Structure 1
Amino acid sequence: MRKIDKLIRSESFIQLVKYVLIGVLGLVVDFGIYTILTHFKMNVEIANIISSTCGIINNFFWNSYANFKVHDRLILRFISYFLVGQITTIFTTISLFIFVTKMCFPHLIVKIIATFVATLIQFVINKIITFRKSKNKI
Structure 2
Amino acid sequence: MTTGTSRLGGPAREAWRRYRSFVLYQLIGVSGVLLDLVLFLLLYNVLGLHEQLATVLSTSAGITNNFLLNSYLNFRVRDGMLRRFLRFYAVGLVGIGLVAVLLLVFHTWLGVDANVVKVVSLPVVAVLQFLLNKRWSFR
- TM-score normalised by structure 1 residue count: 0.82
What's the offset of the Cα at 1:41? 2.0
Partner of 1:127: 134
Runs of 4+ in 1 over 6 A off after TM superposition: none
Unaligned runs of 5+ in 1: 1-5, 133-138
- Cα distance between partner residues in 2 of 1:61 and 1:28: 16
- Cα distance between partner residues in 2 of 1:54 and 1:123: 17
Residues 1:59 and 2:66 are matched in the alignment? yes
Partner of 2:4: none
Q: Identify which range, 74-83 or 100-109, moves more after superposition.
A: 100-109
Residues 1:102 and 2:113 are matched in the alignment? no
Who wins on radius of gyration, i.e. which is larger? 2
- Distance 1:93-1:116 versus aligned 2 partners, 3 A rule: same
- TM-score normalised by structure 2 residue count: 0.82
RMSD: 1.6
Q: Which amino acid counterpart does residue 63 of structure 2 have in structure 1?
A: I
What's the offset of the Cα at 1:16? 2.7
- Cα distance between partner residues in 2 of 1:92 and 1:11: 33
The aligned length equals 125
Q: SS where residue 63 of structure 2 aligns?
A: helix
- Cα distance between partner residues in 2 of 1:59 and 1:96: 23
What's the offset of the Cα at 1:14? 3.1
Q: Which amino acid counterpart does residue 15 of structure 1 have in structure 2?
A: S
Contact in 2 for aligned 1:37/1:47 (Cα 8 Å): yes
Q: Which amino acid counterpart does residue 118 of structure 2 have in structure 1?
A: K
Contact in 2 for aligned 1:16/1:123 (Cα 8 Å): no
- Among 24, 34, 37, the alignment partner of 2:30 is 24
Q: How does 1:1-138 map to 2 (within 5 A)?
A: 9-39=15-45, 40-132=47-139
Unaligned runs of 5+ in 2: 1-11
